[in-house]
Amino acid sequence: LRNSGFVDGLLKWDGGLPARVKALAGSIEEKIEVVFVSVLVRPPTDDERLRYAEFLRRQGEKREAYEDLVWTLLNSAEFATRH
């Protein structure tokens, strides 16, 4: 799955999940929720929300930071065993 066209389409910058989420109006925390629901089909825990919000803020909400967030979830044991 990780080498599939599905994952490539999800991650590509033009029209992929990172670009769509970065362009959304709303707080970083709301954007993180969209990523979690899109990838893991659940909202983030409070700890996850805080950790990833801190990461995105440190990175200046760059495109690559959103790509890293999506990649992290796609490479998680939770994604591999549930999807």
Residue 32 has pLDDT above 70, yes or no: yes
Contact 35, 70 (CB under 8 A): yes
Specify the amino acid at residue 46.
D
Which of the four pLDDT bands, split at 50, 70 and 90, describes residue 80? confident
Mean pLDDT of 45-72: 93
Which of the four pLDDT bands, split at 50, 70 and 90, describes residue 12? low
Give the pLDDT score at 54: 97
Mean pLDDT of 18-32: 93
Phi, psi of 57 (to 5 degrees): -65, -45
Of 70, 74, 72, the closest CA to residue 31 belongs to: 70
Measured CA distances, 35 to 6, 32, 51 (Å): 16, 5, 14
Q: How much of the chain, in percent, has pLDDT values that exceed 70?
A: 82
Of the given ranges (5-19, 20-34, 39-53), which has the lowest mean pLDDT? 5-19
